[in-house]
Amino acid sequence: MMIGRVASVDSLKLYSREWDSPSGAGRAPVVLVHGLGVSSRYMVPTAKLLAATHRVFAPDLPGFGLSGSPRRPYTIAEHARTLGTWMHQSGIVAPVLVGNSFGCQVIAELMVQRPGAAAALVLSAPTVESTRRSAVGESGRLLFDAPFESPSLVPIVIRDYIRAGPRTILFTLRTAIADRIEDKLPRVECPTLILRGSRDPLVSDAWIRRLAGSMRCGHSQRLNGAPHAVNFSAAPAFAAAILAFIETVHRDEHSACTPGVTSAGR
């Protein structure tokens, strides 16, 4: 069952959705980090599947969802610092950090700030691809992605975008475009799975292979038939990929650090 919690981080309200699995004792907790404009609401389909075996946490970043809004929109570094502080205050130790899109950029920055913050990472559709650093282009590709997403995602996105407001969304988009995740991931030591849906127009196979190949423990994977928001529109395949990766890391750390490329159907 999902429980909504409110914490105070640097005097700012931070809302999170949490699932406490009966069989999660002794297993790494999972923290889900949402993308630009949206909230943890669109992480719920994946969270419910993971909660069968793991404790799951899905915070709303400052300025998004049900969290409080700072006086000015946060930079990626500020989002990462807030996320790390919230994890510490919540007693979340050695989690698997799972991000989608902009959430991957926040996670990468957190790992630079706090190298031991996570036991493993799963980065889904990590933005922004180095050859596509254009706000207009990214917005157009996001619109092109819409027909491939589940129709039930639309009202969630509209509601979350309205709540965030154009000022926060535009500032965050500009910040995301300028951010170079490819310079941060090579500094990450923990096992990392980087994946994309085969129908995702924002992120290419070449990009996730490049990112994974730059890391000591990087893997890349494609989910066949899935769009950009795999955590919502292809949640069963995404959750299965996460669980399989966690099991690999738990079973054999050496194999988890042998780079590989795989694909999986929906």
Q: What is the pLDDT of residues 47-74, one digit of tens each?
A: 999 999 999 999 999 999 999 999 999 9
- Give, to the nearest 10 degrees, the angle between helix 166-178 and helix 135-145: 110
Predicted confidence at residue 250, as pLDDT, reads: 81
The strands making up 12-19's β-sheet, listed across from edge to edge, are 2-9, 12-19, 56-59, 30-33, 96-100, 120-124, 192-197, 218-223, 260-264
Give the Cα separation of 231 and 42 in Å (integer). 7
- Which amino acid, 212? A
Cβ-Cβ contacts under 8 Å for 237 (sequence gap 6 or more): 223, 226, 230, 264, 265, 266
Coil, helix or strand for 15?
A: strand
Predicted confidence at residue 230, as pLDDT, reads: 98
> Regarding predicted confidence, which is higher, 19 or 260?
19
Q: Which helix (H) or strand (E) holds 233?
A: helix 230-233
> Regarding predicted confidence, which is higher, 261 or 45?
45
| pLDDT confidence tier of residue 260, bands split at 50, 70 and 90 | low
Residue 11's region, left for phi above 0, alpha for psi from -120 to 50, else beta, is: left
DSSP 95: P
Give the Cα separation of 28 and 26 in Å (integer). 7
Predicted confidence at residue 259, as pLDDT, reads: 55
Instruction: Kindly state the tokens that stand for 213.
Output: 């190949």
- Is 148 a residue whose pLDDT tops 90? yes
Predicted confidence at residue 91, as pLDDT, reads: 95
Phi, psi of 256 (to 5 degrees): -65, -20
pLDDT in tens, 97-140: 999 999 999 999 999 999 999 999 999 999 999 998 988 999 89
Mean of pLDDT values over 1-29: 90
Predicted confidence at residue 24, as pLDDT, reads: 63
- Is 225 a residue whose pLDDT tops 80? yes
Give the Cα separation of 210 and 259 in Å (integer). 11
Predicted confidence at residue 266, as pLDDT, reads: 36
Give the Cα separation of 142 and 145 in Å (integer). 5
